């Protein structure tokens, strides 16, 4: 699950990572109130107005602006709220901005010794360890830094059994070229950042930029956080941060039924039991001249109720021109699945797209017979090639 910047910063704060003071606003009036509160708290006379959407690159897209007066805050909040922010990480039509983060300016104008670093904590799948990736060249696109000056990107492997060690944090601060108070603050920052990553069961904490202020504080100015969905059961506070507005509405509905559904851009919907079979089925759709409209794993219990829910979800996608059901009857019997399909079909009623059902495994023949005798416009197959041919034929018509 992705988090908004302000949510990520709230978690960072809990773990002792220093962040600039900020308040979320949903209207220009609230933005001005927030700016006044921040002024009273920190003495700041400048603020940044930051669009809260699940996408990076907001600055370049016009979603992060510096306000030099309260009037500026009002004007910029008005401008950014309600805009469709387009960045390289959004869909082409952009993302609607519903909230802005008003934050104290920590770049104090006129001061010259500000520095921007990059730091992230993530899982290194090759070594099965967590890894801190960091660079003295922060603030810019880290992919560009990696391509142009790969020697400017450092990594530090962390053994998950013992967590980050102080000597590792000192090495990071040293490699970033810091000394004195800034060095000490960076050591603290890196240690606390790792603890936040581990404590929140995150798969990514990316801070770009980490800023060294002119008074040698080290602050997380941005925060991109991804939390492992499988851990949400033990983090009710993080689970509550989920923003359904940022997700595909069909995927949101599917998750309510515990269906593993991912929307794709093709024209053949598919319903499969098991993730591996789902991947193979998507390949098969490609080879038969179609394009998968989704990934959908109904899981072990392909009973009538789940099949019906899955059909309803797939049919919500207007691009779907045909549906391929590919079920392997291992624990579940094919004839029961077939009955489920027949029941679901008649319950839903008005299904206009052709459905191809391929059942293999226990009672596959009985299942095919059930479908063939149902009188419904459902094509059935037992062999995978036959199902592929059927998909190809219905797409031609």
**Which residues are near ligand GDP by CB under 6 A?**
20, 48, 50, 56-59, 64, 66, 103, 105-107, 139, 208-209, 221-222
**Rounded distance between C-alpha atoms, residue 154 and residue 156, angstroms:** 7
Phi, psi of 50 (to 5 degrees): -125, 120
User: CA torsion angle for 103, 104, 107, 110 (degrees, to 10)?
Assistant: 140
Residue 58 interacting entry, from ligand GDP, Mn ion, none, C-beta within 5 to 8 Å by type: ligand GDP
* Distance spanning both ends of the chain, measured CA to CA: 40
CB of 379 to ligand GDP, least distance (A): 48
Query: Which span sits near Mn ion by CB under 5 A: 151-159, 218-226, 241-249, 353-361?
Result: 218-226
Answer yes or no: are the C-beta atoms of 182 and 147 closer than 8 Å.
no
Residue 201 interacting entry, from ligand GDP, Mn ion, none, C-beta within 5 to 8 Å by type: none
CB of 396 to Mn ion, least distance (A): 48
CB of 81 to Mn ion, least distance (A): 20
Q: Which is nearer to Mn ion, 222 or 308 (CB)?
A: 222
In DSSP terms, which residues pair with 22 in a beta bridge?
103
Q: Which of 101, 37, 96, 35 is nearest to 64 (CA)?
A: 101
Question: How many CA atoms lie within 13 Å of 144's alpha carbon, on the beta-carbon side?
Answer: 6
Catalytic residue, candidates 116, 118, 261, 345: 118
Query: Which span sits near Mn ion by CB under 5 A: 1-9, 111-119, 127-135, 206-214?
Result: 206-214
**Rounded distance between C-alpha atoms, residue 246 and residue 261, angstroms:** 16
CB of 137 to Mn ion, least distance (A): 13
Does the annotation count 261 as an active-site position? no
Query: DSSP string spanning 130-163?
Result: EEEEEES--SS-HHHHHHH-GGG-EEEEE-TTT-
Q: Which is nearer to ligand GDP, 66 or 348 (CB)?
A: 66
Residue 107 interacting entry, from ligand GDP, Mn ion, none, C-beta within 5 to 8 Å by type: ligand GDP
As to burial, measured by CB atoms within 10 angstroms (0-12 exposed, 13-18 middle, 19+ buried), residue 162 is exposed
Pairing of strands 95-96, 378-381: unpaired
CB of 353 to ligand GDP, least distance (A): 40
Answer yes or no: are the C-beta atoms of 298 and 271 closer than 8 Å.
yes
Which of 44, 103, 208, 273 binds Mn ion (CB under 5 A)? It is: 208
Query: Which span sits near Mn ion by CB under 5 A: 8-16, 143-151, 201-209, 307-315?
Result: 201-209
Q: Which is nearer to Mn ion, 48 or 381 (CB)?
A: 48
**Rounded distance between C-alpha atoms, residue 283 and residue 291, angstroms:** 9
Catalytic residue, candidates 74, 156, 206, 309: 206
Residue nearest to ligand GDP (CB): 59
**Rounded distance between C-alpha atoms, residue 135 and residue 146, angstroms:** 10
Q: Which is nearer to Mn ion, 51 or 173 (CB)?
A: 51
- Whether omega for the bond prior to residue 209 falls within 30 degrees of 0, making it cis, is yes
Residue 66 interacting entry, from ligand GDP, Mn ion, none, C-beta within 5 to 8 Å by type: ligand GDP
Q: Which is nearer to ligand GDP, 222 or 309 (CB)?
A: 222
CB of 24 to ligand GDP, least distance (A): 14
In DSSP terms, which residues pair with 292 in a beta bridge?
268
Does the annotation count 118 as an active-site position? yes
Residue nearest to Mn ion (CB): 222
Any contact of residue 222 with Mn ion (CB under 5 A)? yes
Spell out the residues 6+ positions from residue 369 whose beta carbon is closer than 8 angstroms to its own. Answer: none
CB of 207 to ligand GDP, least distance (A): 9
The site for Mn ion (CB under 5 A) is made up of 208, 222
Report, as residue numbers or ranges, the catalytic residues: 118, 206
């Amino acid at each position: 699950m992705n988090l908004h910047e302000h949510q990520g910063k709230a978690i960072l704060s809990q773990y002792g990572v220093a962040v600039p003071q900020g308040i979320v606003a949903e209207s220009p009036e609230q933005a001005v109130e927030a700016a006044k509160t921040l002024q009273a708290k920190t003495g700041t006379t400048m603020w940044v107005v930051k669009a809260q959407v699940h996408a990076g690159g907001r600055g370049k897209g016009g979603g992060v602006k510096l306000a030099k007066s309260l009037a500026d805050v009002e004007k910029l909040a008005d401008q950014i709220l309600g805009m469709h922010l387009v960045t390289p990480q959004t869909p082409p039509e952009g993302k609607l901005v519903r909230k802005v983060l008003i934050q104290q300016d920590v770049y104090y104008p006129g001061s010259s010794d500000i520095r921007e670093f990059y730091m992230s904590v993530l899982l290194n799948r090759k070594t099965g360890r967590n890894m801190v990736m960091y660079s003295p060249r922060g603030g810019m696109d880290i992919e560009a830094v990696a391509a142009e000056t790969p020697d400017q990107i450092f990594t530090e492997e962390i053994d998950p059994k013992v967590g980050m060690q102080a000597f590792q944090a000192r090495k990071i601060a040293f490699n970033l070229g810091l000394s004195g108070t800034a060095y000490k603050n960076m050591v603290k920052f890196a240690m606390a950042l790792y603890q936040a990553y581990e404590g929140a069961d995150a798969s990514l904490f990316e801070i770009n930029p980490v800023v060294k202020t002119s008074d040698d504080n080290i602050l997380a100015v941005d925060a991109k956080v991804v939390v492992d969905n499988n851990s949400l059961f033990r983090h009710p506070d993080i689970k509550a941060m989920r923003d359904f507005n940022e997700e595909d509405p069909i995927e949101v509905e599917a998750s309510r039924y515990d269906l593993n559904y991912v929307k794709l851009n093709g024209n053949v919907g598919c319903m499969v039991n098991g993730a591996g079979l789902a991947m193979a089925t998507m390949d098969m759709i490609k080879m038969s001249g179609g394009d998968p409209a989704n990934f959908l794993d109904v899981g072990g219990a392909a009973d009538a109720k789940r099949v019906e829910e899955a059909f309803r979800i797939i049919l919500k996608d207007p691009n779907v021109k045909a549906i391929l059901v590919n079920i392997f009857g291992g624990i579940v019997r094919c004839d029961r699945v077939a009955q489920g399909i027949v029941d679901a079909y008649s319950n839903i009623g008005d299904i206009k797209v052709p459905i191809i059902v391929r059942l293999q495994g226990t009672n596959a023949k009985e299942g095919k017979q059930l479908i063939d005798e149902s009188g419904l416009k459902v094509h059935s197959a037992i062999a995978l090639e036959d199902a592929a041919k059927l998909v190809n034929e219905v797409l031609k018509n």
